[in-house]
Amino acid sequence: MKITLKHLFTKKVTIQYPDENFPLPETARNRLFMEMTKCIGCKNCAKICPVNCIDIETIKVSPEDPHKELHRNGKERKLWVPTFEIDFAKCCYCGLCTEVCPTDAIIHTKEFEYSEYNRENLVYKFHTLTPEQTEEKRRLLEELDAKKEKEKKQDENKPGNKETPGEKRE
C-alpha cells in the first residue's frame, strides 16, 4: 500500500501519443532513404543485407549515350540504376547497408510511423529513370555489344590473323 500511495502523488509521465512524441536519439535506425543521385550502382548494400530486402538492377553506360551524367565527385557515371527497391516488410533495420555504402547514398531517417494494411505498400521504389529511358539505355547497350561482337568476328575472319601451332605473333 505504501508503494501505491507513493506513486499516487507524483507527477505523471504519460504522453498523449499522436499529439506528443518522445524525442528520438540521433542514432535511431528507422526508415531508410535512398538518394539516387549519389548512388553509383555498386550493389554493396544488397550484398551485405542479411535478409535480402534490397533489390538493385544496373545497366552499363554506353559510350554512345547522349545523356551521360557526372557524379557529384565529378567522375563520369559508369552504371545506370533503373531499379532500386527496399522491402520494409523484410528489413530488420540493422544499418549494415548504410555503413557499407561508399557514397552515403542510403541513410536512416527520423520517420518511424509508416505502418500499412497491405504488405505490398511496404516495397519502396527509388528511381531516376523513367521506363522509356531505361529501355533506351538497354537498347544502346545491346547495340554496342552487337557492334563489338561483329568487330570481333571480323577480326577473327581476317586472313593474316590466324596463328599456326608453335608460331608466335610479334
The residue count of the chain comes to 170
Domain span at 84 = 27-152
CA–CA separation, 138 and 150 (whole Å)? 18
19 lies in some domain: no
Q: Is the pTM of this model over 0.75?
A: no
With cut-offs at 50, 70 and 90, classify the pLDDT of residue 166: low
CA–CA separation, 34 and 135 (whole Å)? 22
- The total number of structural domains that make up the chain: 1
20 lies in some domain: no
70 lies in some domain: yes
36 lies in some domain: yes
64 lies in some domain: yes
Q: Is the pLDDT of residue 106 over 70?
A: yes
CA–CA separation, 111 and 32 (whole Å)? 9
Residue showing cell 508503494: 3
Residue 53's SS3 state is coil
With cut-offs at 50, 70 and 90, classify the pLDDT of residue 161: low
| CATH code where residue 95 lies | 3.30.70.3270
